[in-house]
Amino acid sequence: MLFNSFEFVLLVAVSFAVYYAGFLKHFQVHTLITASLFFYGYSNPGLLALFLASVVINVSTSYLVVYGKPERQKLFATIGVIINLSILAFFKYGVLVGSLFFNSNSSAGSFLLNIPLPIGISFFTFEGISLLIDAFKDRKRAEFQNLVPRSFKTHILNTTFFVAFFPHLIAGPILKAHDFIPQIGTKYLKQINWESCYKNLVMGYFLKMVIADQISQHTFWIQYPYFEGHSSTVLIAMLFGYSMQIFADFAGYSLIAIGVAGLFGYRLMENFNFPYISTSFSEFWRRWHISLSTFLKEYLYIPLGGNHKGKARTYLNLIITMVLGGLWHGAASSYAIWGAFHGIALASERLLTSSSKKQQEKPNLVREIAGGFIVFSFVSLAWLLFKLTDITHVFKYFQAIVNNTKKETSSKIIVFILIYSVPVILYHAIYLGKKYAFINTALRVLAPVAYAIMLFMIITNSGIGGDFIYFQF
């Protein structure tokens, strides 16, 4: 069920009415669990079996982690994490195993190559792992024991709700148990921050339906073999356009998720913080897909040793974390290469800035502009590995950029991409301008007009609706 569909709007409206009905206030969690399971199984009810199996595994193992025999608690946590990762690996990487080790005509090869990818599996699997690790790490701390209450019935409800809550279920933000479960409780209509919900929803739908869906009609030509017929200028413009599209698409989804969750009284973490103003790769990963980057840092990079085991180990940990983060997106080699590129960039940047002299240098506008250009260019080039998952097509695309300088340039594609990229550029520019008092004054006056214009554009100028890019992960 797409966020930009009538069915979704109806689901939210009906759930909202039942949720805040006074005589049903003690069943708010039950209401949202029911709505979430309907949401997840709407297009493919068969997926519910896997989802519920994942919930059962995480409910039972996390309970045993806290209330099982002390000498076996670590074992239960380990078993739970292994099962979660095994389920994720089977469905996401079974196709890769089948293509590498089995003949496609064999029964095993045919089975592995035709394994369906359950939507959102990467997200709800990570959240199950978060519950297990948080429960194990903090099981002896009184303030964290509420993550796994003594009542098994309450634990079932809390865990199911935590994993299933439909605004974040398909594409995040990735929730951490210690952030979300303490929020569970009775909510009241008067507590809703209507202004925040309105702004998040309007901005989210605008980014997705007006910007991303419109640009997608022209970045479509990035696909092989269509790109071979376009000039070098158009090929570069389409890379820029896809960078704008993937931001608008995913940031739009996250804002919608945050806005809908707010209607039900729950706070989801910010997932994007104006990433394209970043002047370093480390800053980019503090601003892009924040829920994933913080998850990888908290549950992978730090357990690997972080930056506490020497410089060489730090660089290796960065690269391993980013490669695994790339593979989290899918089994294609392009995702691993994408992760490796970012890991090497982070490690190289850390190496170059490790001297105390470099760290003490005062901010320099020219250096920041140059850094921003390098980071954005690198990130935009790397997004091609998301669009073209066949690595040979990626090489052919770059060859076409070099070889197609004399082909006729389609100005229509370039102009269209530039027009629909302007709002994304302004979105980031306005954020930069907030340090000036007159900009803040102007924003207070013009913000209501801007949101009204965006709402009007959503109604009158939306592109051809399609899946969110991150649904495939």
Mind telling me the catalytic residues? 329
Give the residue among 63, 87, 35 at the shortest CA–CA distance from 158: 63
**b vs e for 99-127, b when ≥16 Cβ sit within 10 Å of the residue's Cβ?**
eeebeeeeeebeebbeeeebbbbbbbbbb
Token pair in block for residue 277? 């103003």
Does a cis peptide bond (omega within 30 degrees of 0) precede residue 303?
Answer: no
Q: What is the 3-state secondary structure of 353-391?
A: CCCHHHHCCCCCHHHHHHHHHHHHHHHHHHCHHHHCCCH
Give the residue among 233, 83, 247, 253 at the shortest CA–CA distance from 173: 253
- Cα 208 to Cα 441: distance, rounded to the nearest angstrom: 28
User: Which three-class secondary structure state does DSSP give residue 104?
Assistant: coil
- Cα 425 to Cα 274: distance, rounded to the nearest angstrom: 10
- Cα 249 to Cα 4: distance, rounded to the nearest angstrom: 12
- Cα 139 to Cα 233: distance, rounded to the nearest angstrom: 57
Give the angle 383-335-163 at the CA atoms, nearest 5°: 100
